[in-house]
Structure 1
């Protein structure tokens, strides 16, 4: 049996790779690739020397990390290609001048794009897509690069659990053995509160206290609409489309609100106007995004999805155990649907858009070469950073270090554990870059501790997945994806998004404690 000092030392050493990355990125302003590489090396050394991870465990962990890296990088390259095509043709600039005609209110612009539209994209897409798509649009509207990344980063995570076709929620069901009917109500309630918190953070990031106060009414109207729609949809068993439907409802209410305020001409008139400087009307500028939505929706139709899913790259991994007894069960790594992946869907939209814009004369001579150069310039650095972050995460997971961190937090919290539950979910998402992985890694732990101390497992698990959803926003791997489409330093972005995210997670902790106090036993 370990002594208390030994357990504390284990926890501190398990935390060391995370601390290394945070210090290097926040204090010394290193980029994600350099800081991630050092964190990865620290994780490998600690896993081998302290936690008994042999060469086989570490080797398989790196292979699993390689597959996960390919999965994420596919999105990065696809999103960058989509951005470069639209930017080269002048679509981003046209939207930047067209949207203010719908509403000149900077706060409402941030809400519509960074909170509502990004949540809708999260409902359909996956890892990092909302930030990668929305950030360039905000830059086109005149937002600084830092704000352009922070706004969708803090705006979309409330939609993560019931977004990406419900993958995070299905993972929670699988990890705990509980039904979706049991888990959905409390999850939707806490995520609904998160929705309002994300909207408030979006307004603050767009312009501070004054913008927040000016936007409280649309924040409440749109936020309550999205929260209620998501609750109604998921409590009817439609878990895979909860966030998508909520985002769609939010878009309808948000646009109606902007037009009702009467600050500009109606949208239909704008669609026919031409932007003299960009040479493109707002209707054509919006076409790539409408096309992307149509392609993603089409991919959900069973015959289409089945056709796209013919080629899948996956690997089978054996059961692995460290010298200290931590066991990673046998299973497949992250499967990559070559033609149905979010990155592939972005590539299809990019190709069709390029061909159409070239036919329309929006792409000048040499456009293809400039697009390719622009994609490669940003994607290579982002891909290296992603590989390092993912490598560190899977190393810690296979060595038992990630579980040890959460277990230590749970033990230290004691009877105050309900307040710690969202932070454990956020920790898992921060480490792995995914709420899905956080639910897989920590779902059973949260359920067991809740049962042990006599509180409602359903509320605790809702706090787990809500905290994980918010925590995924400031996962370093996701920050790198966002920064890949906008020229911004990763360190300041991480610092800013983490500050907003931790405030929302703290609010979730308070809400969880209140729910338990009101009778959640």
Structure 2
């Protein structure tokens, strides 16, 4: 294994620095910056980390599987959006949502904090932002605001979202049970829920909006974080984020009807846009596509018979043990397992087809709608697809060459036991930033965090909770996910505008969690 020196550590960091430099300083788009970072990762791995052609080839093969997994979701999420948009549904939601409350901050919280977290509970990579960001633009928020709010808003729900995939990965990697991990993980993410909501309110309406929304923020964060904690600590961690956000939706609708968030008597409800359509859906029908998505996702994931039926056919490739010339070993094992009919992308495809048939039957489409839907989907998806493929290739190359591990070792070995609790969440964030995944960060760094905690005499459960909380919050501002969100609101190729703000706002919840972990470690 390569010795840890500052030179080697900086070499391992070079691909990440390449992404940041090109996107933040030179304002390159995600696809170009990602390709350059991938090339840098391959070059450094080959020249300095002992990665041979065989290892690099298998790393790219694994990256292809991961990329297909991600792109299936992205393309189908875009398809669903354009199916609804072509029918006028997005426009109607933008018009009718103020009927619940004209308060812009509460509108933003309901969509880009509560609803987006509910979608995260059921979905995976990119789906929540891909669905919610266009809705926010339809309500009159800027494209950058929309992506930032929708991304930051669901960061707290990633670990226990997607039916607890990331939490399951942490258990599998470390061998620590859910009973040990769940309490502190759920506690940290519950606090993160409040911070994330506060950032959404600030981005939506500034300090004035944040102050006005404070009662709603406190109540909703207690409800969502509390329900998630109860579910997670009682063995129902697969439903943690879904149950918490669903409770938040119910309570949030009630809060939006309170007099404090309603207009003065005689005031006209706010209308953000008008429509010249002769035949337009009602608000209920405009939301029908997303209602279908919820029903299908819950059914496939929660009904055992449907789960077995839809996930009966899976595609899995086995990979051999791989080693660099310096001794870093990637164990043999399966690559990403893809469910042919139960994949989140497949659920989105079924939803899109059903929604299209419903809207077509009701006469909401004009001639040539199907062609326009496919054309718009393709145009939106191509740039983001290239960027994501490059980012995933970079991440798998770094992981297989031992570069990712070296980065974490450098971070963990450069601080004392007293300060390590502050560093632990940022290691999780680093892993998620590079891979775009809470799950991958837990797989890559979970065991390292466990071993470091034991060596330093720290609480294993608290350190691992810090790892997954940091990864959960960090995954939402990973470049690959920023590309996804940007592509759905017309910012493909201009992701630098978003990632600048995402880095500023996204690190705030991580810093808060780091301080809380440090405080708990002193007890």
TM-score tier after normalising by the smaller chain length: over 0.9
Are positions 1:429 and 2:428 aligned together?
no
1:357-391: CA deviation from partner (whole Å, max 9, x where unpaired): 11101011000010010011111111111100000
User: Does the 8 Å contact 1:80/1:484 carry over to 2?
Assistant: no
Are positions 1:111 and 2:109 aligned together?
yes
Partner residue, 1:328: 330
Partner residue, 1:165: 163
Alignment match of 1:239 (pick from 220, 237, 240): 237
After TM superposition, the structure 1 = structure 2 runs for residues 163-242 of structure 1, keeping only pairs within 5 Å, are 163-242=161-240
Are positions 1:455 and 2:453 aligned together?
no
Between stretches 340-349 and 58-67, larger displacement belongs to 340-349
Alignment match of 1:344 (pick from 346, 353, 373): 346
User: Does the 8 Å contact 1:314/1:332 carry over to 2?
Assistant: yes
1:50 CA drift (Å)? 0.1
User: Does the 8 Å contact 1:40/1:392 carry over to 2?
Assistant: yes
1:320-379: CA deviation from partner (whole Å, max 9, x where unpaired): 000110000111111111211111111111111111111101011000010010011111
Alignment match of 1:35 (pick from 33, 39, 43): 33
Q: Aligned partners of 2:311 and 2:185: how far apart in 1?
A: 30
Partner residue, 2:262: 263
Q: Aligned partners of 1:423 and 1:291: how far apart in 2?
A: 38
Partner residue, 1:517: 522
**Uncovered stretches (5+) of structure 1, i.e. residues with no partner:** none
User: Does the 8 Å contact 1:132/1:481 carry over to 2?
Assistant: yes
Partner residue, 2:22: 24
Partner residue, 1:417: 420
User: Does the 8 Å contact 1:446/1:460 carry over to 2?
Assistant: yes
Partner residue, 1:392: 394
Partner residue, 2:490: 487
Alignment match of 1:499 (pick from 476, 501, 504): 504
Q: 1:221 to 1:130 in 2, by over 3 A?
A: same
Q: Aligned partners of 1:84 and 1:115: how far apart in 2?
A: 23
Q: Aligned partners of 1:210 and 1:38: how far apart in 2?
A: 42
1:2 CA drift (Å)? 7.5
User: Does the 8 Å contact 2:380/2:490 carry over to 1?
Assistant: no
1:425-461: CA deviation from partner (whole Å, max 9, x where unpaired): 0001111111011111111111111111111011110
Q: Let me know the Cα RMSD of the aligned residues.
A: 1.5
Q: Aligned partners of 2:199 and 2:85: how far apart in 1?
A: 28
In structure 2, the residue corresponding to 1:474 is in which secondary structure?
A: coil
1:142 CA drift (Å)? 0.5
Q: Aligned partners of 1:127 and 1:264: how far apart in 2?
A: 38
In structure 1, the residue corresponding to 2:490 is in which secondary structure?
A: coil
Q: Aligned partners of 1:324 and 1:43: how far apart in 2?
A: 17
Partner residue, 1:46: 44
Alignment match of 2:76 (pick from 71, 75, 78): 78
Q: Aligned partners of 2:407 and 2:328: how far apart in 1?
A: 14
Question: What TM-score, normalized to structure 2?
Answer: 0.95
In structure 2, the residue corresponding to 1:280 is in which secondary structure?
A: coil
**Uncovered stretches (5+) of structure 2, i.e. residues with no partner:** none
1:260 CA drift (Å)? 2.1
Q: Aligned partners of 1:139 and 1:338: how far apart in 2?
A: 33
User: Does the 8 Å contact 1:14/1:46 carry over to 2?
Assistant: yes
Q: Aligned partners of 1:21 and 1:502: how far apart in 2?
A: 17
In structure 2, the residue corresponding to 1:514 is in which secondary structure?
A: helix
1:276 CA drift (Å)? 5.8
How many residue pairs get aligned? The number is 509
User: Does the 8 Å contact 1:196/1:220 carry over to 2?
Assistant: yes
In structure 1, the residue corresponding to 2:234 is in which secondary structure?
A: coil
Alignment match of 1:438 (pick from 430, 436, 441): 441
In structure 1, the residue corresponding to 2:5 is in which secondary structure?
A: helix
Partner residue, 2:299: 298
Runs of 4+ in 1 over 6 A off after TM superposition: none
Are positions 1:316 and 2:321 aligned together?
no
Partner residue, 2:283: 282
